[in-house]
């Protein structure tokens, strides 16, 4: 069945395209549903498709040869993912896993170069995204190099509530299930240390924990922890 243009007309990525162009792109897309925990694509796999996430949240994970995992980022609604072809790769550099039930649009990789030449706004938006991710990743390197674990975890949680926060009576909550282990894999520490930190913060009334859930009740104080300088 044909896809409705309203699916993508609201996304910044396609905002500068005409309705006809949007129809054209949609006509070539295939929509896909992915239940929670499904592997949408796997690291090292041939990059058959690239995607736009319409609904849900996706975890992008790198696995090392000896089985350790690092979360590269979370993808939010409206974002591109799996854009290996755009950066000159033929395999995916990481795996994408549905953090909740997800809906995405997918296009065969081989269409990328057609799209790139036909729709300059798509190209420039894509590269702006890649550039932004490069910035974010560099920032993460800086944090890992210069901050203590406590500050890194605080920064990471603040970033999560900023990009996927939802207001609740108790504070701002991360909109998808996330474990202590996940937070550890985003910050380069262990689930034990994350658990200890969050327990301490909970005692101080800064956050409210829960199974696969984090709610920040006092963002300001969490910011103070994140910015706290112990030296100098």
β-pair partners for 144? none
The answer to whether residue 191 forms part of the interface with DNA (CB under 7 A) is: yes
Determine the distance from the C-alpha atom of residue 29 to the mean position of all C-alpha atoms in its chain, rounded to a whole number.
22
- How far, in Å, CA of 163 to CA of 175, rounded? 9
Beta strand pairing status for 102-108 and 69-75?
A: unpaired
- Nearer to DNA by C-beta: 22 or 189? 189
- Nearer to DNA by C-beta: 123 or 195? 195
> In the stretch 135-164, what mask flags binding to DNA with x, by CB under 7 A?
-------------xxx--------------
185 binds, among DNA, its own copies, none (CB under 5 to 8 A by kind): its own copies
- Residue in 5, 188, 218, 221 binding DNA, rule: CB under 7 A: 188
The answer to whether residue 69 forms part of the interface with DNA (CB under 7 A) is: no
- How far, in Å, CA of 11 to CA of 54, rounded? 9
191 binds, among DNA, its own copies, none (CB under 5 to 8 A by kind): DNA
34 binds, among DNA, its own copies, none (CB under 5 to 8 A by kind): none
173: alpha, beta or left? (left if phi > 0; alpha if psi -120 to 50)? beta
Q: How does DSSP assign 81-96, residue by residue?
A: E--GGGGT-SB-SSEE
128 binds, among DNA, its own copies, none (CB under 5 to 8 A by kind): its own copies
Q: What does the block give as tokens for 136?
A: 């974010």
State the alpha helices, DSSP H only, in 110-227.
112-118, 120-146, 149-164, 180-187, 191-203, 219-227
State whether residue 133 is helix, strand or coil: helix
Closest contact distance (angstroms) between CB of 36 and its own copies is 25
- Nearer to its own copies by C-beta: 61 or 207? 61
180 binds, among its own copies, DNA, none (CB under 5 to 8 A by kind): DNA
The residue ranges that bind DNA (CB under 7 A) are 148-150, 179-181, 188-193, 195-196, 198-199, 202, 209-213, 231
């Amino acid at each position: 069945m044909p896809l409705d243009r309203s699916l993508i007309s609201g996304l910044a990525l396609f905002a500068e395209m005409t309705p006809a162009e949007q129809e054209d792109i949609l006509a070539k897309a295939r929509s896909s549903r992915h239940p929670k925990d499904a592997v949408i694509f796997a690291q090292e796999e041939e990059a058959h498709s690239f995607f736009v996430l319409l609904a849900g949240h996706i975890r992008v994970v790198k696995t090392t040869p000896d089985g350790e995992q690092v979360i590269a980022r979370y993808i939010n609604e409206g974002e591109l993912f799996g854009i290996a072809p755009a950066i000159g790769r033929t395999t995916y550099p990481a795996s994408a896993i549905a953090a909740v039930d997800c809906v995405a649009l997918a296009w065969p990789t081989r269409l990328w170069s057609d799209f790139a030449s036909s729709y300059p706004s798509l190209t420039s938006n894509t590269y702006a995204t890649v550039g932004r991710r490069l910035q974010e990743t560099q920032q993460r390197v800086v944090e890992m190099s210069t901050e203590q674990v406590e500050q890194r975890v605080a920064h990471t949680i603040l970033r999560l509530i900023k990009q996927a926060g939802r207001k609740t009576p108790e504070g701002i909550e991360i909109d998808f299930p996330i474990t202590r282990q996940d937070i550890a894999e985003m910050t380069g520490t262990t689930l034990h240390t994350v658990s200890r930190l969050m327990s301490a913060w909970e005692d101080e009334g800064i956050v409210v924990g829960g199974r696969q859930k984090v709610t920040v009740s006092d963002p300001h104080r969490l910011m103070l922890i994140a910015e706290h300088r112990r030296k100098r």
